[in-house]
Amino acid sequence: MRKKDIILPILAIVLVVIYFATGKKNEIKTEYLLPKDLNIKVIKYKDDDLDITLEKAKDGWLITKPESWPANKDQINKLVSKLKNIEIISKIDSKNDKNFGFSEKKRLLVKTDKIDYSIYLGKKDKSYRFQYVKLSDKIYLVDASFTNYLPLTINQIKDKTVYNIQNPKSFSLKTDNETIEITFDNETATFNGINIDKEKTKELMKLISKFESNTFADNNTLPDDAKKIGYLKVKSAKKEYSFELYKNKDGDFYIPYKNQVFEIYSFKLEDWIENIKKLIPKETGTK
């Protein structure tokens, strides 16, 4: 075998080794604004007229300011995940922070077991992909994607669950043109006095065990044109809910409950009712 045939493969191997060795040395390690292993207990967010405090609870998150109400757990968990993954693009070597849009009106306070992090939120760059922030008197340009998870309004992050009940025993709904009565006994159900088979009973139980609103009424107040048109009642072995049902001239529905006023768009409640009615023989109808 000629020397050339031996040298060329060896040279190729050496070059590959050098490439990966130098490549690893030149790799840029990603830096994050906050430690990724934080156990976040409290989040405070201020933005102009918005002033929100969130506190971690046993089963999720609670809004404690400006009012007391459960927060949407999934939304806040996504926010927490984003806060732990704010990637630093560059450090800004400047002592004059007036050029970056910082103010007391827009900031985040992240509280943990040991350390509190006060993050001032400045302006975004021209691409709107990056955000100037200030932490511990140091200015950074960071990935701005976390700002997409900050609330624009308090209603945006409030839990919109009207009720959530396991193994319902009875369900009653009355509107201006519908009356529905469902009772459950183990694996069977009756709908307005008509027996329902087991499979449809399971679907009914799943369908009525939880209901969510679309949003909350402005200022948590019933509109002036909202009139009472019925009720919604759900009962299990351990819990019982009873709600008054209101409707405005636009056809939207409202449920006042615990100093809140849930707002349900007309199509949502109507679709819900139609899905319930699909689980019974057509000829039975509703009362």
Q: What is the pLDDT of residue 99?
A: 87
Contact between 223 and 248 (Cβ < 8 Å): yes
Q: How far apart are CA 220 and CA 68, in angstroms?
A: 13
The residue among 167 and 21 whose pLDDT is bigger is: 167
Say if pTM beats, i.e. exceeds, 0.85.
Answer: no
User: Does residue 192 carry a pLDDT above 80?
Assistant: no
User: Does residue 95 carry a pLDDT above 80?
Assistant: no
Q: How far apart are CA 106 and CA 88, in angstroms?
A: 19
Q: What is the pLDDT of residue 6?
A: 55
The residue among 76 and 93 whose pLDDT is bigger is: 76
Q: What is the pLDDT of residue 188?
A: 86
Q: Compute the average pLDDT of residues 191-207.
A: 87
Contact between 217 and 223 (Cβ < 8 Å): yes
Residues 6+ apart with CB under 8 A from 162: 211, 212, 213, 232, 243, 255, 257, 262, 264
Q: What is the pLDDT of residue 11?
A: 54
Average pLDDT of the chain, as a whole number: 89
Question: How many CB atoms are closer than 10 A to CB 54?
Answer: 22
Q: Compute the average pLDDT of residues 145-157.
A: 96
User: Does residue 9 carry a pLDDT above 60?
Assistant: no
Digit-coded pLDDT (tens) for 43-85? 999 998 899 999 999 989 999 999 999 999 999 999 999 999 9
Ranked by mean pLDDT, the top range of 12-26, 101-115, 178-192 is 101-115
Q: Compute the average pLDDT of residues 223-236.
A: 97
Strand partners for 172: 181, 233
User: Does residue 7 carry a pLDDT above 80?
Assistant: no
Digit-coded pLDDT (tens) for 240-256? 999 999 999 999 999 99
Least confident of 19-23, 64-68, 176-180, 241-245: 19-23
The residue among 220 and 17 whose pLDDT is bigger is: 220
Q: What is the pLDDT of residue 20?
A: 57
Element housing 92 (H / E): strand 88-92
User: Does residue 140 carry a pLDDT above 70?
Assistant: yes
Q: What is the pLDDT of residue 173?
A: 95
Q: What is the pLDDT of residue 284?
A: 47
Least confident of 11-20, 107-116, 270-279: 11-20
Digit-coded pLDDT (tens) for 254-286? 999 999 999 999 999 999 999 998 887 665 444
